Amino acid sequence: MAAEAARYLAPLAWVGGAWARDVLLEVGPDGCWSGVTPDAPEQLRAQAQTLAGPVLPGLVDAHSHAFQRAIAGLTESSGAGEDDFWRWRDRMYSAANRITPQQLEAIAAFLYAELLDAGYTEVCEFQYLHNAQDGRPYADADMSLALARAAQRVGIGLTLLPTLYMRSGFGAGGLRPDQRRFASTPDSVLRIGEGIAGLADPLVHAGVALHSLRAVDAAALGEVAAAARGRMPVHIHVAEQQQEVEDCVAHHGRRPVEWLLEQVELDARWNLVHATQTTSGELAGVQSSGASIVICPSTEANLGDGVFDLPDWLARAGSWSIGSDSHVTRSWQEELRLLEYSQRLSLRRRNIAARSGRRESTAAVLFEGALAGGTAAAGRPLGGISVGQRADFMLVDRSAPALVGVPDGQLLDAIVFSSPLACIGEVRVAGRSVRPLASRPELAQGMRDAMQALWG
């Protein structure tokens, strides 16, 4: 699905970490930027299509569980006793153990269209629903293929991450009955990835994931790491909850990130999801390895996970990306805003990211961090508007109420920090325009039908 070669003139575009004017943007037949020329002279502008608004590069949603879109807004009432992550997990399992491949495709297609509307142009799908409801493996990786079909239907880039899940907790001999759909082996998840590669779709490819240290043993961890080395991105949930840290210490005598660093030679292909319960020393070790952190601010807030130590990570120039995870929001602006605001609430100071990242604009630090880290998460050239990167971009609607009268120099600050959300207009992936959700009533109907079947 390569793009046709095209030439655009952007009156304003985010290039190299700042706004540039009169940018000539050229898309090659491979769907990547073949030319980026700020302050383009008149003679180069001939036959270029003038874009209707400021241009931002598309972002990677670095952590998604598409099926959890079906419970967004449905877990916000508490029963008797304290409510925490583990009680939420039990509710989440009620969806995980009901959903069919057909329902998953419908939910994912609707979700992916929402993500595109917001300006996400690639999604990293952390997929561990491998088996039928009775625990028997599907013959053809039906759940993973349902996600690939959903991505293809709407035109978003997909990094599928078949996820290894072998046991219910540290030292456990296997899975609980309510986890039977997750059962997998190193060979099975790597085979799923090979099957996705066989689709020969340039917008769909695969990496691999390990659900968590509590869900895999040391031998399996090492086997997957060895198979993936130099070939594909690797993702893992780690140090999300304090109980997880305590259980790891009790079983291994080490904190999760500390133990992971001892067991595996991490590198730039590794992406550690959450890491909300980490020490400064552990972050130093991760940064030295070249690995990235995937931060999911809205889900981490929703689940009471804790607050990632962003100032420490930025001071180390660590790589990071953002994910919408359980999809309680599908907005990258809200993720970045909440990431900054959680720091302000904890530290009782303002513009934490700007100070830690040694730049003037907090929004610029946040956007650039998410942009750069997205390439590590997806394992693809998605690092912004520069030659060789995939030609993904979104147009900003300057007439949106949040942006009326805002000077060009503060436009990104207003897009991130002025609510209601600024309107994102047209979105393109690999140079091709994608249809907005509002023009796809069949996707909404599919979502309604799936929700009705699941919840009645």
Q: Which of the four pLDDT bands, split at 50, 70 and 90, describes residue 202?
A: very high
| Secondary structure class of 357 (helix, strand, coil) | coil
Q: Above 60 in pLDDT, residue 375?
A: yes
Q: Does 267 qualify as catalytic in the annotation?
A: no
For range 260-279, the mean pLDDT: 98
Q: Above 60 in pLDDT, residue 128?
A: yes
Q: Which of the four pLDDT bands, split at 50, 70 and 90, describes residue 275?
A: very high
What class, spelled out in words, does domain 59-378 have in CATH?
alpha beta
Q: Which of the four pLDDT bands, split at 50, 70 and 90, describes residue 82?
A: confident
Q: Above 80 in pLDDT, residue 78?
A: no
Q: How far apart (Å, rounded) are the C-alpha atoms in residues 400 and 396?
A: 9
Range 6-57+388-439 classified under CATH 2.30.40.10: yes
Q: How far apart (Å, rounded) are the C-alpha atoms in residues 442 and 429?
A: 21
Q: Among residues 61, 305, 309, 325, which one is catalytic?
A: 325
Q: Above 50 in pLDDT, residue 1?
A: no
Give which of 296, 299, 397 is closest to 61, Cα–Cα: 296
For residues 228 and 186, the answer to whether their CB atoms sit within 8 Å is no
Q: Does 274 qualify as catalytic in the annotation?
A: yes
Query: In the structure, how many helices (H) and strands (E) does the chain have?
Result: 15, 17
What DSSP assignment string belongs to 184-233? Answer: --HHHHHHHHHHHHTT--TTEEE-EEE--GGGS-HHHHHHHHHHHTTTS-
Question: What's the chain's Rg over C-alpha atoms?
Answer: 21
6-57+388-439 shares its CATH topology with 59-378? no
Q: What is the chain's mean pLDDT, rounded?
A: 96
Q: Domains of the chain: which residue ranges?
A: 6-57+388-439, 59-378
Helix spans in 4-131 (H) = 85-96, 101-118
Report how far apart the first and last C-alpha atoms of the chain are (Å, whole number): 38
For residues 350 and 324, the answer to whether their CB atoms sit within 8 Å is no
| Residues of the chain above pLDDT 70, percent | 99
Kindly report the pTM of this predicted structure. 0.97
- Please provide the size of the chain in residues: 456
Q: Which has more pLDDT, 346 or 82?
A: 346
Q: Among residues 205, 235, 274, 327, which one is catalytic?
A: 274
For range 243-258, the mean pLDDT: 97
